[in-house]
């Protein structure tokens, strides 16, 4: 059975993220996948502060949260990023988490689920794609979920159009299953 890691994207106390993460976890579990959640609020990764870049052959993370996060990504057959859009880019807490890993991203299957106003996090996904696919050589799925506030979701994260939300998220998750065989 495949292991899927769902990565949170916000550490705000009243975040929409936890509602979307719960939905993604539920839909993955319905597919009989083994699901783990990387809660970036709980992991408390420092802002990237290692003297060496992560691509350096002698780079070995010492921070406990970074070591745990690195192991979680290594153990996953696929990673699902659930991200809000902040200032037309992905959430900085998630980008910082991506930065802490170099080799571990190469060839990793990644799905992008995002939410926002005008673009439904399309610009957040573009940043994630540039970092993960173009630079770190992850296999980022073409199918991405863009959930729009005021159409798909209310600003508090509850569903306005449940059928549309399920269709978008399921389309991404189905691609993961298809890729994992």
Ligand X SMILES: Cc1cc2nc3c(=O)[nH]c(=O)nc-3n(C[C@H](O)[C@H](O)[C@H](O)COP(=O)(O)O)c2cc1C
Min dist CB 10 to ligand X, Å, is 3
At residue 159, φ and ψ (nearest 5 deg) are -85, 130
Burial of 31 per CB tally in 10 Å (0-12, 13-18, 19+): middle
Residue number with CB closer to ligand X (40 or 79): 40
User: What residues have CB less than 8 Å from 91, skipping those under 6 apart?
Assistant: 9, 10, 83, 84, 85, 124
Residue number with CB closer to ligand X (93 or 136): 93
The per-residue DSSP string of 35-70 comes to EEEE-HHHHTPPSS--SS-TTSTT----SHHHHHHH
Min dist CB 115 to ligand X, Å, is 7
- Alpha helices, DSSP H, located in 12-153: 17-29, 40-43, 64-75, 92-99, 122-129
Residue number with CB closer to ligand X (55 or 158): 158
Q: What is the DSSP letter of 16?
A: S
Q: Provide the binding-site residues for ligand X, judged by CB under 6 A.
A: 10, 12, 15-17, 84-88, 116-118
Min dist CB 130 to ligand X, Å, is 16
Question: What span, in angstroms and rounded, lies between the C-alpha atoms of 128 and 111?
Answer: 10
Min dist CB 63 to ligand X, Å, is 24
Min dist CB 86 to ligand X, Å, is 4
Residue number with CB closer to ligand X (15 or 170): 15
Residue number with CB closer to ligand X (2 or 172): 172
């Amino acid at each position: 059975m495949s292991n899927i890691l769902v990565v949170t994207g916000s550490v705000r106390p009243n975040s929409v993220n936890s509602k979307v993460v719960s939905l993604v976890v539920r839909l993955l579990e319905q597919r009989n996948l083994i699901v783990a959640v990387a809660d970036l609020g709980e992991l408390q990764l420092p802002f990237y502060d290692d003297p060496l870049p992560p691509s350096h052959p002698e780079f070995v993370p010492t921070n406990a949260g970074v070591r745990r996060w690195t192991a979680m990504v290594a153990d996953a057959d696929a990673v699902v990023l659930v991200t809000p859009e902040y200032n037309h880019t992905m959430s900085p807490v998630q980008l910082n988490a991506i930065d802490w890993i170099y080799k571990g991203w190469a060839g990793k299957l990644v799905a992008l689920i995002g939410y926002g106003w005008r673009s439904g996090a399309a610009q957040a996904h573009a940043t994630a794609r540039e970092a993960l696919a173009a630079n770190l050589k992850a296999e980022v799925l073409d199918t991405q979920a863009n959930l729009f506030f005021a159409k798909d979701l209310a600003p508090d994260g509850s569903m306005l159009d449940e059928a549309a939300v399920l269709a978008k998220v399921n389309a991404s998750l189905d691609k993961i299953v298809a890729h994992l065989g």
